[in-house]
Amino acid sequence: MFSQVKLTKKLIALFAVVIAVFCTIQAPAFAKVNIDMRCNDRASYIELQASDSEGAVWTNTCGREVEFIVDFADGEWNYGSGYPYNIMVGPEGNPQGDVFGYFDNPYCQGAELSYVIDDQPVPAGCYSYDRSVFLMPGETITLINNDQKGSAHNDNSGSVFLYVHNFL
């Protein structure tokens, strides 16, 4: 009986250590990349990391509807560590990988530069399909590597540079 109690205490201690180590290992925290752009202006050379689950954001503070346009995006990234998700692709995305309803924008290909307005996917908000969207006053657009929402971005690699502008 004595050895069984000792063993139980050691297992509990080991379990506590494992939990403590697990809780201290955290995914890197990414802040949103704020697109610094006035109304009727342009912004360039905005780097968006594939592993950034928050994306690059811009809020329409212009007081009226604006057209937000992605002029150009350049670079390579992926959306996972295993095949075919680990294939490095441009902002047009990976036609070989699966996309599911819980992705940032399920209308776009995996690893495609995708647009989300106020946390809602834009049906035509895919870099390969349409490079402009209209934003009402107060709406926020997020440009993001299309992957599963949240921590799934952690195993992505690469980055894309964005060149954007808006028209009143």
Cis peptide leading into residue 84 (ω within 30°): yes
Contact 126/79 with Cβ under 8 angstroms? no
What is the rounded average pLDDT for all residues in the chain? 87
Lowest mean pLDDT among 1-5, 92-96, 125-129: 1-5
Contact 117/81 with Cβ under 8 angstroms? no
Residue count of the chain: 168
Lowest mean pLDDT among 13-27, 103-117, 142-156: 13-27
What is the distance between the alpha carbons of residues 64 and 60, in angstroms, rounded to a whole number? 8
Report the SS3 class of residue 127: coil
CA-based nearest residue to 46, from 58, 33, 61: 33
**How many structural domains does the chain have?**
1
CA atoms within 13 A on the CB side of 153: 26
On whether residue 129 sits in a domain, the answer given is: yes
On whether residue 136 sits in a domain, the answer given is: yes
What is the distance between the alpha carbons of residues 122 and 120, in angstroms, rounded to a whole number? 6
What is the distance between the alpha carbons of residues 116 and 118, in angstroms, rounded to a whole number? 7
**pLDDT (tens digit, 9 = 90+) per residue, 36-76?**
999 999 998 899 999 999 999 999 999 999 999 999 999 99
Residue 87 maps to which CATH number?
Answer: 2.60.120.430
Which residues form the domain of 148? Answer: 33-167
pTM score above 0.95? no
On whether residue 2 sits in a domain, the answer given is: no
Host H or E run for residue 8: helix 2-24
What is the distance between the alpha carbons of residues 74 and 162, in angstroms, rounded to a whole number? 7
